[in-house]
Chain A
């Protein structure tokens, strides 16, 4: 079956611009996660949705970052006034249930480059 998909696969933008990154989770998965992976680092947790609501947004670095999941399926990560330090691969994952033991299925990521 279809896995987690993310669009675009690559995004190049200029400093100060606004970007949106999209995630389509596996159908029926109620939990959705966003992570950020900088070069040479492991993924860093950003935000977790259970259904439509953000259950944990403690990983968002500042108020320029925002994410939504209005219908409990597709999610969009929004970054305002992008900075060069935002350049990274943004990963999305979904799982069938919530809870720390649940397997998270990852998408291929969106590589964001801020010039």
Chain B
């Protein structure tokens, strides 16, 4: 079985400050890991994904995440927050086994950007 834990249902940062959204996973086999963003009244959009190549993954809009197997973590960061980054962020895991390709999502973190 696999699961995802996102620490902090709400994170507030000032515009221009570092963004750090935490994600820890549990998986009995090597995982694939994803970060999705959901803007109000829009569908989920993929920010980045880890598929066992480079452990530091760069995504869209200046976001990146680092896979740390020893910590079972895949935290999302952005050096400088912008007002347009305000949204709901979801970490998700799937795994390399065959058949079950559905994603398991965390509960999400609502990112608030203070002016």
Contacts and interface: CB of A to CB of B under 8 A. Distances in A.
Report the contact-size class of chain B (Cβ under 8 Å from the partner).
Answer: 20 to 34
Contacts of B4: 42
A12 interface: no
Nearest to A98: B101
B51 interface: yes
Contacts of A4: 43
Contact of B96 (A44, A46, A100, A105): A100
Contacts of A27: none
Interface in B19-46: 32, 36, 41-46
A102 B46 CA distance: 11
Nearest to A5: B43
Contact of A100 (B32, B43, B108): B32
Interface string B37-62: 00001111110010100000000000
Interface in A21-55: 31, 33, 35, 40-46, 48, 55
